[in-house]
């Protein structure tokens, strides 16, 4: 695959966030290989539906249209926010690369920190995971489910409709909107979604040449960390709509993994940590999930489903 070849076609959702993320990956790939990349916009079901994402089951609604284009051969590869990908892998596609992760944490866009918001203040987020953990920190606030792109959500704060919104710090960073963050939640306060802050570069499983070519983008430490986080989610049999948070990072020797399932009312939680080999992240995640299930995590997820 030399630089004189035709440009690779990178499928992306059409939102500003998605095209920005895809553009960063395209630029990096060209920088590393000299191969030109062109973006191909794809509209997904998650982009056009007005339904609440938690009612749709969350994962997959932004993914299937891009995968259809991959299978058809209309695009060569696709970039997803890793936290949007279902944990059960479609055998027709493969994650060829997971680039180095950006900030995994959640961030509050507001005029104040969470602790300083008045009782009853309205804070918007579309994520049951965030709402459950926010309720642990401030049970006296009014948490409002919202949808829309970052602009739309931040606009609700600017207009005064909401006193704050919680978004992924990585996304705000990629859009150059860090200045609007009033507080970044440490993972001890609010565990991020499994894979948050990381991107997945996906192509067809039968394209060995392309898999090898895209692998220059892969970051082994990020891949190990997010594999452990997603293994927890998979073993708990919970989609991205469930109140499950997980975060993993290595200390150079071992992978340290923390995960939590929080009741939607924020009053109960099962939170566990473990450490293990960087070479077996999936086992680490499965084992931690088993410990959590033994302590009642499955019950909390079941309550969310009903």
Over the stretch 137-194, which tens digit does the pLDDT of each residue have? Answer: 999 999 999 988 888 999 999 999 999 999 999 999 999 999 999 999 999 999 999 9
Instruction: Clarify whether 240 is annotated catalytic.
Output: yes
Q: Region 271-296: what's the mean pLDDT?
A: 95
Nearest alpha-carbon partner for 281 in 259, 256, 306, 246? 256
pLDDT band at 3 (very low <50, low <70, confident <90, very high): very low
Instruction: Clarify whether 50 is annotated catalytic.
Output: no
> For the CA atoms of the chain, what is the radius of gyration?
19
pLDDT of residue 238: 64
pLDDT band at 53 (very low <50, low <70, confident <90, very high): very low
Q: Which is catalytic among the residues 13, 67, 129, 230?
A: 129
Query: Does residue 302 surpass a pLDDT of 50?
Result: yes
pLDDT of residue 123: 98
pLDDT band at 116 (very low <50, low <70, confident <90, very high): very high
What is the chain's percent helix, strand, coil content, to nearest 5? 35, 25, 40
pLDDT of residue 89: 87
Provide the 8-state DSSP code for 141. Answer: S
Q: Which is catalytic among the residues 67, 83, 204, 207?
A: 83
Instruction: Clarify whether 83 is annotated catalytic.
Output: yes
CA distance 211 to 181: 37
Instruction: Clarify whether 130 is annotated catalytic.
Output: yes
pLDDT band at 52 (very low <50, low <70, confident <90, very high): very low
Task: Give the other-Cβ count within 10 Å of 152's Cβ.
Answer: 11
Query: Does residue 45 surpass a pLDDT of 60?
Result: no
| Least confident segment among 47-56, 62-71, 257-266 | 47-56
Task: Please name the helix (run of DSSP H) or strand (run of DSSP E) that holds residue 250, with its range, or none.
Answer: strand 244-250
Q: Region 210-214: what's the mean pLDDT?
A: 98
pLDDT of residue 111: 93
CA distance 117 to 120: 8
pLDDT band at 303 (very low <50, low <70, confident <90, very high): low
CA distance 86 to 61: 10
The residues that bridge with 250 in the sheet, in sequence order, are: 255
The whole-chain average pLDDT of the chain stands at 90
Q: Which is catalytic among the residues 122, 135, 153, 230?
A: 153
CA distance 149 to 47: 9
Q: Reduced to 3 states, what is the DSSP secondary structure of residue 249?
A: strand
Q: Region 114-132: what's the mean pLDDT?
A: 95
Instruction: Clarify whether 268 is annotated catalytic.
Output: no
Q: Region 73-83: what's the mean pLDDT?
A: 94
Dihedral sign, Cα of residue 152, residue 157, residue 161, residue 165: positive
**What domains does the chain contain, in order, with CATH numbers?**
8-99+199-218 (3.40.190.10), 106-184 (3.40.190.10), 228-302 (3.30.160.40)
Nearest alpha-carbon partner for 57 in 213, 230, 238, 190? 238
Q: Which is catalytic among the residues 69, 106, 230, 240?
A: 240
Q: Tokens 């060829």 identify what position?
A: 96
């Amino acid at each position: 695959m030399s630089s004189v070849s035709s440009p690779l076609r990178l499928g992306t959702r059409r939102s500003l966030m998605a095209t920005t993320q895809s553009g960063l990956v395209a630029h990096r790939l060209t920088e590393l290989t000299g191969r030109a990349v062109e973006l191909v916009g794809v509209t997904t079901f998650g982009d056009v539906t007005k339904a609440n994402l938690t009612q749709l089951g969350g994962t997959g609604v932004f993914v299937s249209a891009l995968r259809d284009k991959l299978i058809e051969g209309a695009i060569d590869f696709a970039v997803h926010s890793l936290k949007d990908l279902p944990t059960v892998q479609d055998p027709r596609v493969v994650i060829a690369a997971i680039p180095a992760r950006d900030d995994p944490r959640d961030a509050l866009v507001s005029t104040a920190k969470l602790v300083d918001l008045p009782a009853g203040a309205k804070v918007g987020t579309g994520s049951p995971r965030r709402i459950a953990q926010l309720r642990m920190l401030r049970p006296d606030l009014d948490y409002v489910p919202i949808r829309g792109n970052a602009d739309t959500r931040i606009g609700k704060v600017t207009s005064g409709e909401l006193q704050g919104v919680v978004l992924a710090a990585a996304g705000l960073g990629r859009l150059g909107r860090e200045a609007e963050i009033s507080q970044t939640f440490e993972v001890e306060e609010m565990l991020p979604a499994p894979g948050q802050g990381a991107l997945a570069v996906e192509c067809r499983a039968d394209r060995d040449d392309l898999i090898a070519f895209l692998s220059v983008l892969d970051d082994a430490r990020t891949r190990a960390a997010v594999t452990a986080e997603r293994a927890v989610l998979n073993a708990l049999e919970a989609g991205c709509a469930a109140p499950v948070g997980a975060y993993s990072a290595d200390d150079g020797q071992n992978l340290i993994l923390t995960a939590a399932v929080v009741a939607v009312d924020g009053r109960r939680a099962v939170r566990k940590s473990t450490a293990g080999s960087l070479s077996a992240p999936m086992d680490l995640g499965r084992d931690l999930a088993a410990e959590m299930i033994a302590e009642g995590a499955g019950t909390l997820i079941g309550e969310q489903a009903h």
